[in-house]
Amino acid sequence: MRIAGTGRVGAGGRRPGRRAAVAAAVLAVAAPLTLGAAGDAGAAGPAGPAAVVPVVMDHPIVFARYSAAAPVEDLYAISPSGGAPVKLTHTSTVSDVMPSWSPDGKRVAFLRYGAGGAIDGIWTMKSNGTDLKSVPGTKGASDPAWSPDGTRIAYARPVGTQREIYVADTDGTPATRLTHTAADEFHPSWSPDGTSLAFNRADASGHSRLMRIKLSTLAQTPVTLAGSHDWAPDWSRGNRIVFSRVDATGFAHLYVVRPDGGGLHRITSARANDKNPSWSPDGRRLVFTRGGTDDADPEHLFLVRADGTGLTQLTHAATHDLEADWRP
């Protein structure tokens, strides 16, 4: 399965579907995390037997993976220093995608869908893949983002023919709609102080720009210019926003900008598609996906410093590794 826009650059909206159908929280815990491979979770039930061999990772990166041999996505975790990824979910008929760490690193929010449409919405689980819980009221939602204080989740949800940004407590209530436009809004990302969200707004012409919304007033401010192709912002604790832009080269590259729209500069420049960036906890590095010109083209996770140096390939399998999120 594939979420529209995860593999092919330029699709900002992402509604679950098969590939054939769609192209500043202070850390409560800073110690290394022990992960284990959970048992088979089945189509919708809780994760199975607890872990086999625990793997200790310091600030692990969680991501979604699928391959030609296993076309349903599961979630994995990998250490920033490399090594073998640990499989967190085992669902043969259900896709798990778009993971987002809680600020204390104890849980992950993600989108789960499949099994003929019977399962569709945001779920949370412990960091080792156990204790799965659905978030009520999130059918059709996407792009979950955990708030810096750990009490709320922002997400995109369909309203009529377009998608809007919502925020809800982690139990799904109350769900508050933040945007009311004729455009599509996606990819909410919290400011370090939890008072604002960055997101991308896609218009009917196929363009997308970054926006910022203040939660107390719902006042919206453009961050990047109209007519751009900007997607998937991630707001760092250092108050910078990284995002993916399809620029004049025709490829998607990583850019960084201040929340006020100033200081724009490009981080990557290869003849490759770079997308879905996520900041490291110290704001010095980024993890992102490179590749994916089509379904036969593998997509790998890469690391890079915020100044564009120190590029390192993190995953190497013949798989599609997507939507990485670096544990705070």
What is the spatial distance between Cα 316 and Cα 313, in angstroms, rounded to a whole number? 7
Report CA-CA distances (Å) from 289 to 2, 15, 31, 282. Answer: 15, 19, 26, 20
Handedness of CA 205, 210, 213, 219 (dihedral sign): negative
Burial 209-227 (b: 16+ CB within 10 A, else e): bbbbbebeeeebeebbeee
Domain boundaries, the chain: 2-326
What is the spatial distance between Cα 153 and Cα 252, in angstroms, rounded to a whole number? 28
Name residue, tokens 């200081």.
263
* Contacts of 250 by beta carbon, 8 Å cutoff, 6+ apart: none
- The reported pLDDT for the residue numbered 56 is 56
In order along the chain (328 residues), what is the average pLDDT of each group of 10 residues?
35 34 24 40 37 62 94 96 95 94 97 89 95 95 97 96 96 95 96 97 94 98 97 95 96 97 96 96 97 79 97 96 97
Is the backbone peptide bond immediately before 174 cis, with ω within 30 degrees of 0? yes
Task: Evaluate whether 252 touches 275 at the Cβ level (below 8 Å).
Answer: yes
Cα torsion for 243, 247, 249, 252, to the nearest 10°?
Answer: 30
- The reported pLDDT for the residue numbered 240 is 97
CATH homologous superfamily for the domain 2-326: TolB, C-terminal domain (2.120.10.30)
Name residue, tokens 């590749």.
291
What is the spatial distance between Cα 60 and Cα 247, in angstroms, rounded to a whole number? 31
What is the spatial distance between Cα 148 and Cα 280, in angstroms, rounded to a whole number? 15
What is the spatial distance between Cα 112 and Cα 89, in angstroms, rounded to a whole number? 11
What is the spatial distance between Cα 183 and Cα 203, in angstroms, rounded to a whole number? 5
pLDDT in tens, 128-141: 999 999 999 999 99
- Phi and psi at 3, nearest 5°, equal -85, 130
What is the spatial distance between Cα 63 and Cα 73, in angstroms, rounded to a whole number? 10
Task: Evaluate whether 145 touches 99 at the Cβ level (below 8 Å).
Answer: no
Tokens of 327: 């544990």
Residues pairing with 61 in the sheet: 78, 326
